[in-house]
């Protein structure tokens, strides 16, 4: 199963909000014909209406992929209309947070290959990172196809088991919000030292964005990058002595924050 199968048999996108639209835009710009895509969405955007895809039409009988991108709370309403696609011929891929493989196996029946994926919000600009894991019916060809589709919005990594998904949710799924809050608080700290608000925010945004890009692109470990910019007894060291404090700094704070998010993910998964 590969992209040629999708072109021939079709891809069904269930839900086309921000994440669905980001993925669809990536597929279309990558050469997937609009006529190979069927979208079900109750409130289609103007952009979606102009793509040329099959919008809210009858679904093909045997599509190659059904990609579920509805919000978890809409799952009970959305899935029944596509349940007859289960049974093995169609790969089901979900990007819905907190929705287990077992939930989809229950809806689509035995023999259905399912891949669960956790993307994050930078997918909207093609800079996301998505973690994937498959059920017992999902073979290497299914995972390969899911990875190909999800690379339209950034990097893809494979998990060893679904039990890792709660930690992934806490690190990369919720993680962008932590970084946005870092930008907010860094800018506020700059204001407190006398900078105009607009300047402080511009400095904070560019610093976090640039440092993140450097960490991704550099062959050096982030710890070494930190050492590289820390002169002995200099300004950076003065700040890091506060931030790296084992009790009140980043180590303890982020460990607590990520654990709280992971625990909440586990609670939501239990229903």
Pairing mode of beta strands 114-118, 128-134: antiparallel
pLDDT in tens, 204-257: 999 999 999 999 999 999 999 999 999 999 999 999 999 999 999 999 999 999
Closest CA to 132 of 154, 148, 116: 116
pLDDT at 47: 97
pLDDT along the chain (271 residues), means of 10: 89 95 95 97 96 96 95 87 90 92 93 96 95 97 96 97 96 97 98 98 98 96 97 97 96 97 88 66
Look at residue 270 in the predicted model and tell me its pLDDT: 78
List of domains in the chain: 3-165 (3.40.50.720), 173-269 (1.10.3730.10)
Q: Which residues are annotated as a binding site?
A: 14-19, 56, 69-72
Encoded tokens for 224: 């070494």
The pTM (predicted TM-score) of the whole model is 0.92
Determine how many CB atoms are found less than 10 A away from the CB of residue 263.
12
For residues 235 and 123, give the distance between their C-alpha atoms in angstroms, rounded to a whole number.
Answer: 35
According to the model, what pLDDT value does residue 269 have? 79
Q: List residues forming the annotated binding site for NADP(+).
A: 14-19, 69-72
Q: Which two tokens stand for residue 236?
A: 């950076």
Residue ranges of the annotated binding site for NADPH are: 56
- Kindly tell me the burial class for residue 170, based on how many C-beta atoms sit within 10 Å of its own C-beta (0-12, 13-18, 19 or more): buried
Residues counted in the chain? 271
| Strand segments (E) across the chain | 11-14, 37-40, 54-55, 65-68, 91-94, 114-118, 128-134, 154-158
Q: Are strands 65-68 and 91-94 parallel, antiparallel or unpaired?
A: parallel
Helix, strand, coil fractions of the chain, as percent rounded to 5 = 55, 15, 30
pLDDT at 271: 66
Helix axes 197-217 and 175-192, enclosed angle (nearest 10): 140
- Give one DSSP letter per residue of 86-128, joined into a string: TTTTSEEEE--TT--HHHHHHHH-TT--EEEEE--GGGGGT-E
What's the angle, vertex CA 200, arms to CA 198 and CA 206, rounded to 5?
A: 100
Q: Tell me how far CA of residue 189 lies from CA of 122, 194, 200, 242, in angstroms.
A: 25, 9, 8, 14
Residue pair 168/118 in contact (Cβ under 8 Å)? The answer is: yes
């Amino acid at each position: 199963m590969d992209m040629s199968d999708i072109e021939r048999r079709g891809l069904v996108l269930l839900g086309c909000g921000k994440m669905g639209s980001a993925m669809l835009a990536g597929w279309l710009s990558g050469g997937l014909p609009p006529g190979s895509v069927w979208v079900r969405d109750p409130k289609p955007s103007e952009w979606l209406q102009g793509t040329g895809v099959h919008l809210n039409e009858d679904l093909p009988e045997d599509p190659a992929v059904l990609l579920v991108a509805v919000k978890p709370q809409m799952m009970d309403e959305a899935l029944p209309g596509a349940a007859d696609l289960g049974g093995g011929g169609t790969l089901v891929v979900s990007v819905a947070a907190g929705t287990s493989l077992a939930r989809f196996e229950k809806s689509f029946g035995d023999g259905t290959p399912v891949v669960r994926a956790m993307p994050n919000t930078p997918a909207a600009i093609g800079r996301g990172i998505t973690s994937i894991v498959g059920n017992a019916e999902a073979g290497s060809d299914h995972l390969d196809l899911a990875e190909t589709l999800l690379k339209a919005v950034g990097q893809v990594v494979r998990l060893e088991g679904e039990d890792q998904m709660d930690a992934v949710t806490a690190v990369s799924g919720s993680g962008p919000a932590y970084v946005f809050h870092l930008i907010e608080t860094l800018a506020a700290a700059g204001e407190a030292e006398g900078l105009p608000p607009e300047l402080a925010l511009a400095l904070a945004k560019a610093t976090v964005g640039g440092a993140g890009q450097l960490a991704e692109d550099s062959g050096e470990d982030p710890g070494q990058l930190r050492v590289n910019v820390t002169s002995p007894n200099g300004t950076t060291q003065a700040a890091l002595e506060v931030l790296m404090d084992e009790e009140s700094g980043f180590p303890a704070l982020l460990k607590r924050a990520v654990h709280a998010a992971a625990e909440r993910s586990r609670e939501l998964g239990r229903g």
